[in-house]
Amino acid sequence: MEFFQPESWQEALEIRAAHPGAVPIFGGTDVMVDLNFDRERPEAIVDLTQVPEIQDWSREDGRLSIGAGVTYTRIIAELGNMLPGLAMASRTVGSPQIRNRGTVGGNLGTASPAGDALPPLYASDAEVEVASSDGTRRVPVTEFITGPKRNILEPNELIAAFYIPEAEGPQQYSKIGTRNAMVIAVCAVGLALHPEQRKVGTCVGSAAPTPVRAADAEGFIEGVLEEQGLWDSRGEIGEPALVRFGELVEAVTRPISDVRGTAAYRTHAVGVLARRTLKWAWDEYRGGE
């Protein structure tokens, strides 16, 4: 197996173009598992850890550009205030060792429906920047992931960064696992309140072939908040509206039954998580926490 270790983004893109069968690696927390279990035997590996350009983040006009190689540990430490939902999700990933190496770029590369970084990206309309030696393109994350462990990356492309608006309101991420740590989500819900736009973003993880936005639920609750003037009054959301919101989020699930849980459990649990995350975020918006 050939091993490449580019030291610049340009060099990485040239290697990728010349060796389309080469597997990119950053933290290796997915790639090395596949290699160790002999699920994959690529002709070459491109180690991106020496490429400085993808290991930085920046902020412009309320929007963050975060390099594919920024680890979960750094997201929690450096971006927790600006991206509370993604930071919450990052805290649930693996263990400190995994968070020290693992990246959102790798989570996007793997495109697992259970990827914890993905629901917060969906709930805030993030975009993924992919690059090749021919140029770059920016794709909404909802279009970047096309199926379980599938994304739109062409063989000559790499993930450069993702773009996400800084939180303009409370955000939540809640995940069910079979134990408290080091666990892949049985199901999860990410939620973001966008008070300036009077919008609510919601995404379900690990209960469909890809993470999935709950558009009807979002539309429903936005209608309730608008009609009852709750964005301005900061009044409480009534129980019937919370219940209906949960039902509409449940409706987008297309879960499987597997070792981690049954389809019926996942659907039920997603409804519970949806109600809770909305209530927690709304209570915070009201000034309760």
Ligand X SMILES: Cc1cc2nc3c(=O)[nH]c(=O)nc-3n(C[C@H](O)[C@H](O)[C@H](O)COP(=O)(O)OP(=O)(O)OC[C@H]3O[C@@H](n4cnc5c(N)ncnc54)[C@H](O)[C@@H]3O)c2cc1C
Q: Give residues in contact with ligand X (CB under 6 A).
A: 23-31, 33, 48, 68, 92-94, 98, 101-103, 105-107, 109-110, 115-116, 153, 158-159, 182, 184
Beta bridge partners of 159: 130
Cα–Cα separations (whole angstroms), residue 21 to 1, 24, 34, 41, 160: 11, 10, 16, 10, 18
CB nearer to ligand X: pick between 158 and 248: 158
Least CB distance from residue 73 to ligand X, whole Å?
A: 12
CB nearer to ligand X: pick between 10 and 233: 10
CB nearer to ligand X: pick between 115 and 170: 115
For every residue of 112-167, DSSP letters joined together read -TT-TTHHHHHHTT-EEEEEETTEEEEEEHHHHEEETTEE---TT-EEEEEEEEPP
Least CB distance from residue 209 to ligand X, whole Å?
A: 16
CB nearer to ligand X: pick between 54 and 217: 54
- Alpha-carbon span 219 to 171, nearest angstrom: 18
CB nearer to ligand X: pick between 25 and 281: 25
Least CB distance from residue 179 to ligand X, whole Å?
A: 11
Least CB distance from residue 24 to ligand X, whole Å?
A: 4
Asked whether 199 and 211 are in contact (CB, 8 A), the reply is no
Least CB distance from residue 123 to ligand X, whole Å?
A: 15
